[in-house]
Amino acid sequence: MSVHATARIVADRDGALPVLRSDGPLALRRTRATGPYTRVTVVGAMTAPLGGDRLAVEAEVRDGARLTVGSAAATVALPGREARQARYDVRLTVAEGAELRWLPEQLVSAHGSDLRMRTTVELAATARLVLREEQVLGRHAEEPGTLTTRLTVRRAGRLLLDQELAYGPGAPGGWDGGAVLGGHRAVGQLLVVRPEFEEKPAEPCLLGDTAAVTPLAGPAALVTAVAPDALRLRRVLDEALATL
């Protein structure tokens, strides 16, 4: 039987969390933080997403608030008893003068799974964002499932980024070729939105052989990377974040 669940976070300027609502397999916990950020950790309360599941996480960061959201462990997409696609939606809203650091652990696409993940972000003009997405295609020595991800970001009502990626047996041909993954099994991106980039945009550059920093047409920079495994992917993205 499929699971339908939506967890919700609301953060205020004073560090309060007036809404922290867990649901189904998505358990939200306020965890200890250093510095000015309120921190919430998503803890998997049961195995999910499975085929047919419909999961969602919503986060609203109100005026002047600072919030970091992470996860306790990787999310593993698994096949269910029925061959149906699972969906995982992330909806983020960041208000004026607020900042969100969205830093979950990796999403692992296990063999036989079929997951569509959609992340939608609405930013105010003076909002700040650090958003990391990492996908691992298959567990150790395993072929991946089918994974489609889409990231859509709007700032002050205008489109900043709209990108869709697809991997696995249900994806268009060429996803594992030299022009896309080149045989790598870990892929990720890091999006940094800062008002300061309007005056001084990020410099485009390569980070080793398999990662690049690209300034966007807006106060933002996008880092894209592939790597042989999750550990090396994280190192590249962490190094990129330190420079941005």
Contact 201, 215 (CB under 8 A): yes
Looking at residue 94, its pLDDT comes to 98
Contact 142, 168 (CB under 8 A): no
pLDDT in tens, 107-131: 999 999 999 999 999 999 999 999 9
DSSP-H helix ranges across 97-243:
230-243
- Looking at per-residue pLDDT, the higher value among 99 and 174 belongs to 99
Question: Any idea where the domains of the chain sit in the sequence?
Answer: 4-187
pLDDT in tens, 217-244: 889 999 999 999 999 999 999 999 998 8
Backbone angles phi, psi at 30, to 5 degrees: -75, 130
Whole-angstrom distance, CA of residue 12 vs CA of residue 22: 18
Please say if the pLDDT value at position 34 is more than 90.
no
pLDDT band at 170 (very low <50, low <70, confident <90, very high): confident
Looking at residue 217, its pLDDT comes to 87
One-letter amino acid at 51 equals: G
DSSP string, 102-140: EE---EEE-TT-EEEEEEEEEE-TT-EEEEEEEEEESST
Select from 149, 150, 95, 101 the least CA-distant residue to 122. Answer: 95
Beta bridge partners of 189: 133, 224
pLDDT in tens, 84-112: 899 999 999 999 999 999 999 999 999 99
Looking at every residue in the chain, the average pLDDT score rounds to 94
Mean pLDDT (whole number) for 204-217: 93
Select from 151, 101, 158 the least CA-distant residue to 128. Answer: 101
Percent of the chain with pLDDT over 70: 99
Whole-angstrom distance, CA of residue 109 vs CA of residue 147: 7
Looking at residue 176, its pLDDT comes to 83
Helix-strand-coil percent breakdown of the chain, rounded to 5? 5, 50, 45
Looking at residue 174, its pLDDT comes to 76
